[in-house]
């Protein structure tokens, strides 16, 4: 793999064919590009490279006596944009639920921000230029400034600014352009970046997936893609330079892999995998009613990870037994204003209602790092992943923290809820957080507001410090949930959103496995429930290893629930334990992965039929061919 994130496989060289963009002959060679997965699924389609559609707005000067008229044009365009966004929100709400649709309320709020709109008006007045140029120049400068920043929190807002710029200019000029209007069915959009509006406007009968050079997991475009179920991979760096219109492309939204010009062998593998997953979806209702019991009758609980309440019906349909991780920070990321207690309560109460007595584990807000806080800070942190994030941020923002805790406790009166604190590293943090919970309970008592007095409190184990001190923490919590996404990142010093070091981010690293094993053992010694809610739990090979290490609860994405339950029913715990013992004899992730890959296919071959390139585990998808 070279520094662009592209691995070349000389064995897959295909016949020469013309490049539709360059107009020259080239030898097509399969190229596997690693990016950042943001929405699950796998698709085989044809490339449509979406050119940068930036408007070329010249510096048009106006007469001084026409400045007021130009300001009125600007105000009218902003007013129409705000009205349009209200309608877009309603349409998006019907498609993907209220929480995800709040992205467009965020955009509407930006149009009311004087610090954003004021400089546009000031430029028109001071320089006597047309409104179009002022909008293009000011918002373009903001986008460029954010795009140059190293912090992902700022970079992820570039497409929001571009979205607003295009919307206002459309109302100023009366032009509405769309390159995607006539694309054929089976299209995969490849672009430098996409805005949320572009993503929601895709004709889903024609556009199957998208992949971009830029972007991150927490951008508003990523939120929209997940909510709409559009398979997508972002952060591919050089994809638009390598892709050619109408060439074959595979987008693997599960593993963050894009395959350009796939070989016939790779295509056959992916087609087989897609057909298998389509068949699995047809049989999901039958599978969902079956328990996750191993061949030797050991029960494994399979829960789901969600970001929005509206994901729960799909989770239950897939056979999920409850929610093991509700990520609540999207209440903040999809709104221009901090959510109120009512906003929190309504979301949690809806979850409780939809789950109808099944468990709900609510993680308190995991803000910071690449999320939310940095763009609000006067001086952004140099290294926010090691800064004031997660529980640290909450304990520095007690009023905000209490607002969420009040809502959680109020909702607990209607059904089973557990509270889970993220990124706990010291006992002082845990004790402080528990103290705040008890303070809120006393407040509710005084107000006569009911709540579940026996509500369980747990913590995420996602930093080495927590895993190493698991015996101590186990004396003070009701449960552990191992968050492998951050645990891998902090143990291996690998930024999990950085595609340049993506190959080093591996849940099978022996150091990571030992921390997981020690946490499970500490939980058993103290009779504390231990679950795992990271992405690693949805991988079949890793799941077998985790079960063999002693895990009895896995929380995964909804699309992974049914395949995981089928996998569990096809193995014995004795086999899993034997596999785990052998895996711990190796000293490298390469050896562990090779052993698991070989043994898992022999134990449950039906779970691995049709695996795709590099043994990625493709999700359900579509092959237009």
Q: From CA 467, how far away is CA 469, in angstroms rounded?
A: 5
Closest CA to 62 of 138, 137, 126, 141: 126
The active-site residue out of 220, 236, 344, 351 is 220
Is the distance from CB of 385 to CB of 419 less than 8 angstroms?
Answer: no
Phi then psi for residue 296, to 5 deg, are: -100, 25
Q: Using an 8 Å Cβ cutoff, are 308 and 100 in contact?
A: yes
Active-site annotation holds for 178 = no
DSSP designation for 576: H
Q: Is the dihedral of CA 463, 465, 468, 472 positive or negative?
A: negative
Q: Which of 351, 394, 533, 576 is catalytic?
A: 533
Q: How far apart are CA 558 and CA 311, in angstroms?
A: 8
Any bridge partners for residue 326, and if so which? 306, 362
User: Which residues does residue 420 pair with via DSSP β-bridges, in sequence order?
Assistant: 363, 458
CA distance 213 to 496: 17
Dist CA 68 CA 421 (whole Å):
54
Query: CA triplet 113, 116, 119: central angle to 5 degrees?
Result: 130
Q: Which of these, 329, 324, 322, 325, lies nearest to 344 by C-alpha position?
A: 329
Annotate 300-347 with DSSP letters as a single string: -EEEEEESSGGGHHHHHHTT--SEEEEETTHHHHT-SSPPPHHHHHHH
Task: Specify which residues 368 forms β-bridges with.
Answer: 371
Residues shown for the chain: 625
Q: How far apart are CA 199 and CA 220, in angstroms?
A: 10
Do 51 and 179 meet the contact criterion of CB atoms below 8 Å apart?
yes
Q: How far is CA 110 from CA 224, 335, 371, 509, in A?
A: 18, 10, 18, 44
Angle at CA 99, nearest 5°, toward 97 and 104?
Answer: 95
On whether the CB atoms of residues 420 and 391 are closer than 8 A, the answer is no
CA distance 359 to 340: 24
- What is residue 11's three-state secondary structure? strand
Tell me the two tokens of residue 332: 């903040």
Element spanning 26, H or E? strand 25-34
Q: Is 14 exposed, middle or buried (0-12, 13-18, 19+ CB in 10 A)?
A: middle
Backbone φ and ψ for 137, nearest 5 degrees, come out as: -70, -50
SS (H, E, C) 189-248: EEECCCCHHHHHCCCCCCEEEEEECCCCCCCHHHHHHHHHCCCEEECCCCHHHHCCCCCE
| CA atoms of 619 and 41, how far apart (whole Å) | 4
Residue 220 among the catalytic residues? yes
- Across 501-542, where does the E strand assignment appear? 529-532
What separation, in Å, do the N-terminal and C-terminal C-alpha atoms of the chain show? 30
Active site residues: 220, 533
């Amino acid at each position: 793999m070279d520094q662009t994130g592209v691995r070349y496989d000389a064995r897959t060289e295909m016949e020469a064919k013309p490049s539709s963009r360059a107009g020259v002959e080239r030898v097509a060679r399969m190229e596997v590009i690693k990016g950042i997965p943001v929405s699950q699924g796998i698709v085989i389609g044809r490339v449509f490279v979406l050119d940068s559609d930036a408007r070329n707005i010249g510096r048009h000067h106006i007469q001084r006596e026409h400045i007021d008229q130009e300001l009125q044009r600007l105000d009218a365009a902003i007013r129409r944009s705000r009205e349009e966004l209200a309608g877009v929100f309603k349409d998006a709400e019907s498609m993907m639920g209220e929480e995800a649709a709040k992205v467009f309320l965020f955009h509407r709020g930006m149009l009311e921000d004087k610090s954003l709109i004021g400089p546009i008006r000031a430029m028109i007045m001071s320089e006597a230029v047309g409104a179009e140029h002022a909008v293009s120049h000011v918002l373009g400068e903001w986008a460029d400034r954010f795009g140059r920043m190293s912090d992902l929190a700022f970079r992820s807002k570039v497409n929001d600014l571009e979205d607003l710029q295009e919307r206002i200019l459309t109302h100023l000029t009366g032009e509405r352009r769309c390159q995607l209007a006539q694309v054929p069915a089976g299209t995969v959009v490849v672009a430098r970046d996409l805005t949320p509006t572009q993503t929601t406007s895709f004709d889903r009968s024609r556009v199957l997936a998208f992949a971009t050079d830029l972007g991150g997991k927490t951008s508003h475009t990523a939120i929209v893609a997940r909510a709409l179920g559009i398979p997508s991979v972002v952060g591919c760096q050089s994809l638009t330079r390598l892709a050619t219109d109408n060439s074959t492309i595979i987008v693997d939204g599960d593993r963050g892999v894009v395959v350009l010009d796939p070989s016939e062998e790779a295509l056959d593998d992916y087609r087989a995998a897609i057909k298998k997953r389509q068949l699995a979806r047809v049989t999901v209702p039958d599978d969902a009613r079956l328990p996750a019991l191993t061949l030797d009758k050991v029960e494994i609980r399979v829960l789901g990870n969600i970001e929005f309440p509206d994901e729960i019906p799909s989770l239950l349909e897939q056979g999920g037994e409850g929610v093991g991780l509700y990520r609540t920070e999207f209440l903040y990321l999809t709104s221009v204003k901090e959510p109120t207690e009512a906003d929190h309560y309504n979301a949690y109460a809806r979850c409780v209602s939809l789950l109808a007595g099944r468990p709900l584990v609510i993680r308190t807000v995991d803000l910071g790092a690449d999320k939310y806080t940095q763009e609000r800070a006067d001086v952004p942190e140099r290294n926010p992943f090691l800064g004031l994030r997660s529980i640290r941020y909450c304990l520095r923002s007690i009023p905000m923290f209490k607002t969420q805790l009040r809502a959680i406790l109020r909702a607990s009166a209607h059904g089973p809820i557990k509270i889970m604190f993220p990124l706990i590293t010291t006992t002082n943090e845990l004790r402080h957080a528990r103290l705040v919970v008890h303070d809120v309970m006393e407040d509710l008592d005084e107000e006569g507001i009911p709540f579940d007095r026996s509500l369980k409190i747990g913590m995420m184990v996602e930093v080495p410090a927590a895993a190493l001190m698991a015996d101590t923490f186990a004396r003070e919590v009701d449960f552990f949930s191992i968050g492998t996404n951050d645990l891998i990142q902090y143990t291996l010093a690998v930024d999990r959103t950085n595609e340049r070091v993506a190959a080093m981010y591996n849940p099978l690293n022996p150091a990571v496995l030992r921390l997981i094993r020690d946490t499970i053992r500490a939980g058993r010694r103290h009779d504390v429930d231990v679950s795992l809610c990271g992405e690693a739990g949805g991988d079949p090979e890793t799941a077998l290893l985790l079960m063999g290490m002693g895990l009895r609860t896995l929380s995964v994405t909804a699309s992974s629930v049914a395949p995981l339950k089928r996998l569990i029913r096809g193995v014995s715990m004795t086999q899993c334990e034997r596999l785990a013992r052998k895996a711990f004899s190796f000293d490298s992730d390469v050896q562990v992965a090779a052993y698991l890959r070989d043994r898992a296919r022999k134990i449950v071959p039906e779970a691995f039929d049709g695996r795709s390139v590099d043994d990625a585990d493709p999700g359900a998808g579509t092959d237009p061919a």
